[in-house]
Amino acid sequence: MLIFLLPLLLSLSASSHSHPLDPLTASEITTIRRVILSSASDQSFSFHYIGLDEPDKPALLSWRPSHAASLPRRAFVIARSDRQTHEILVDVSNRSIISNAIYRGAGYPILTAEEQTVAVELPSIYPPFLESIRKRGLDLAEVVCSTFSVGWFGEARRRRRRLLKILCFLAGETANYYVRPIEGVTIVVDLDKMEIVGYRDRAQIPVPKAEGTDYRAPAGKEKGKRKGGGVKPGVVVQPEGKGFEIEGHMVRWANWAFHLSFDVRAGTVISLASFYDAEKRSRRRVLHRGFVSELFVPYMDPTEDWYYKTFFDEGEFGVGLCASSLEPMADCPANAVFMDGCYAGGDGKPVVIKNVFCIFERYAGDVAWRHTEAGIPGQAITEVRPDVSLVVRMVCTNGNYDYVMDWEFKTTGSIKFGVSLTGILEVKATPYTHADQITSEQYGTLLADSTIAVYHDHFITYYLDVDVDGVNNSFVKSKLKTVHVTDGSTPRKSYWTVVKETADTEADAQVRLGSEPAELLIVNPNKKTKVGNIVGYQIIDHGGTAVSLLTEDDYPQMRARYSNKQVWVTAYNKSEKWASGLYVDQSTGDDNLATWSQKNRVIKNRDIVLWYTVGFHHIPCQEDFPLMPLLSGGFELRPFNFFESNPIIKTQPYRHLPSFNCTSNV
């Protein structure tokens, strides 16, 4: 018997919406574009962000499906025209502009894909660049260029322009052009003029060779041949069908229900996550709204050709804009359901990303709970329950790096946030071919002939508007304190106990993990279990706890001051979504999470937001070349006195099903 396992396909680009948090549809984006252009005398608008302006939280929490017409459908738009940034609020339902304001502060909006495409073509007709290619003996047809943000290094605002740097690489015999940089050539483009305004050819360093760098499968690979200890392929079979339901953008699985949407800046957005408590016979809120808020990636080479490489991949380039279409049976298992995403391109017209999300049940062979009891005479008891979870996955490819981002919902009530890095390292060409030749600081690791991978960091910051069993929550640090026994009352000389501290203000809620033993909790002080414990959720790290080592006066760190601690808690403010600020390109650090926290607002028994940063210090090694295997980290929100007991203790064991013969004798 041959079983064909085909991926299930759904679409997020339906023409209608049934929930106030549903992302803007293609038809709505078209309407928004038409409304803005019809009211503007200047038709040269470039659209840098069009996203849902979600309803105010109190109105949203009181909304019911029968009240669909009672909440306004609005869009927030950031557009550029005549070198000015417009913030436009559009009433989508009434097809009208509510407000149109000019932003005059520091920083610029997300770069559009269209302007980057135009910019990377400029070098091919620029005589100084053509001369640089000629004198290196390279073939222009093999040259590939890419865009790099310029950062901010103290320039006065009045002197600033909307700039972009262009670096170029050599493809030739490999698709892995990122490991073949044309070192020493830097091109500066004025994006408003769309012309090259700066050029530097500093040095002629040989381009690293192509041999051994290509990551593609060889053409005509023999069937069944596996090199390097490859494993045999496998599939997930669900004889009774998938265990989750999707209605519009609402996902329901086991006791979980949540809303899933797509945003061109944030990518995956999870809202209204709640868990049905069978004992209380009620649905209990956990997470109002969550998404990745920023990706800060600073490189550690301070030289002229590298110092500016301190990227804010989300605020400058957009996680959603860089989202990749997922490959069935590769990015996601056979039992996955796929969804599309829709966003507005630079011209304001809708663009669809196929298979931007996949949703699947994970059967990894792990145990949810178990116990074997041999202490009762005449009895041998073993009870085991398998661990099954629901995963929402998205992958964004920011140039050379790929980020696999998972939201994993567990039957225990936990939510796990996983991020994995793979892709290609950022490297520089060098004359060195052996580590023994290096006598000066190179700021990285020699991985191959003439190839140094530069040290760098990855900081992935999550925005989590937690609503644990209600809106008003508190942040608690349960510190572990050693107590010395000196009164002779016991043979023991010491033990540890718990000292709980509830944060009163935002200043009290900044945590550098590992500085002292403590358990971090989000609790609802207004709710208690039957035995009197305050209900809550615990924050547990699962690897990736690095913090920034840059000095506070370093310009990239001024822009990302929040990266020196992993945990922040702020008072809820609808406008405070993006950890590095609304306008990140060439930002100056005056609008970010650390700045907002200086208000030191009261957060005890209030509507609060948890910010958590997963961090990696990446010291490249040869196993990362020519393409690095997955490096993973994350954290978890785990119930802590939220339930009266283990919520899955009454789960029935699985019935043993006969195995399937998935082979064919044809």
Report, as residue numbers or ranges, the catalytic residues. Answer: 313, 401
pLDDT of residue 12: 39
pLDDT of residue 657: 58
> Which amino acid type is present at position 430?
T
* pLDDT at 663 > cutoff 60: no
More confident call, 227 vs 354: 354
pTM of the model: 0.94
Predicted confidence band of residue 46 (pLDDT cuts 50, 70, 90): very high
In terms of phi and psi (left: phi > 0; alpha: psi -120 to 50; beta: otherwise), the region of 641 is left
pLDDT of residue 1: 26
User: For residue 444, what are the contacts with CB-CB under 8 A and spacing of at least 6?
Assistant: 300, 301, 427, 428, 452, 453, 454, 455, 620
* pLDDT at 475 > cutoff 50: yes
Predicted confidence band of residue 69 (pLDDT cuts 50, 70, 90): low
Q: Do residues 250 and 259 make contact, with C-beta atoms less than 8 angstroms apart?
A: yes
- E-strand ranges in 442-493 read 444-448, 451-454, 456-466, 472-484
**What value does the mean pLDDT take over residues 594-610?**
98
Tokens of 309: 């490489």
Closest alpha carbon to 546 in 414, 456, 425: 456
CATH classification of 113-201 is 3.90.550.10, yes or no? no
* pLDDT at 346 > cutoff 80: yes
- E-strand ranges in 53-149 read 74-81, 84-91, 96-103, 143-148
> Which amino acid type is present at position 352?
V
> Which amino acid type is present at position 122?
L
**How far is the C-alpha of 46 from the C-alpha of 43, rounded, in Å?**
9
pLDDT of residue 318: 98
* pLDDT at 224 > cutoff 70: no
**What value does the mean pLDDT take over residues 379-388?**
90
Closest alpha carbon to 353 in 308, 382, 375, 321: 321
* pLDDT at 42 > cutoff 80: no
Closest alpha carbon to 525 in 533, 534, 516: 534
**How far is the C-alpha of 142 from the C-alpha of 177, rounded, in Å?**
9
Q: What is the mean pLDDT of the chain?
A: 92
**How far is the C-alpha of 289 from the C-alpha of 467, rounded, in Å?**
9
Closest alpha carbon to 284 in 295, 292, 272, 268: 272
Predicted confidence band of residue 2 (pLDDT cuts 50, 70, 90): very low
Tokens of 107: 């920083």
In 90-246, which residue ranges form alpha helices assigned H by DSSP? Answer: 113-119, 127-135
Digit-coded pLDDT (tens) for 612-645 = 999 999 999 999 999 999 999 999 999 999 999 9
CA angle 405, 326, 615 (to 5 degrees): 20
* pLDDT at 197 > cutoff 80: yes
Please compute, for residue 628, the number of CA atoms within 13 A of its CA located in the half-sphere on the CB side.
25
pLDDT of residue 159: 65
Phi, psi of 347 (to 5 degrees): -90, 0
Tokens of 653: 């064991």
CATH classification of 9-103 is 3.10.450.40, yes or no? yes
Q: Do residues 407 and 271 make contact, with C-beta atoms less than 8 angstroms apart?
A: no
Tokens of 342: 């829709």
* pLDDT at 275 > cutoff 60: yes
User: DSSP per residue over 323-378, as a string?
Assistant: BPPPPBTTTB-TT-EEEEEEEE-TTS-EEEEEEEEEEEEEEEEEEEEEEEE--STT
Cα→Cα distances 238→127, 235, 374, Å: 61, 10, 34
**What value does the mean pLDDT take over residues 460-469?**
98
> Which amino acid type is present at position 529?
T
Decide whether 9-103 matches 113-201 in CATH topology.
yes
* pLDDT at 413 > cutoff 90: yes
- How many other C-beta atoms can be found within 10 angstroms of the C-beta atom of residue 520? 23
pLDDT of residue 569: 98
Beta bridge partners of 419: 405, 633
User: How many residues in total does the chain contain?
Assistant: 666
Predicted confidence band of residue 217 (pLDDT cuts 50, 70, 90): confident
pLDDT of residue 661: 52
Q: Do residues 536 and 468 make contact, with C-beta atoms less than 8 angstroms apart?
A: yes
**How far is the C-alpha of 273 from the C-alpha of 254, rounded, in Å?**
13
Q: Do residues 246 and 238 make contact, with C-beta atoms less than 8 angstroms apart?
A: no
**How far is the C-alpha of 45 from the C-alpha of 39, rounded, in Å?**
12
Predicted confidence band of residue 599 (pLDDT cuts 50, 70, 90): very high
Tokens of 616: 């990696």
- E-strand ranges in 31-83 read 46-52, 74-81
Domain residue ranges in the chain: 9-103, 113-201
Q: Do residues 342 and 26 make contact, with C-beta atoms less than 8 angstroms apart?
A: yes
**What value does the mean pLDDT take over residues 237-259?**
93
Beta bridge partners of 228: none
Phi, psi of 523 (to 5 degrees): -125, 160
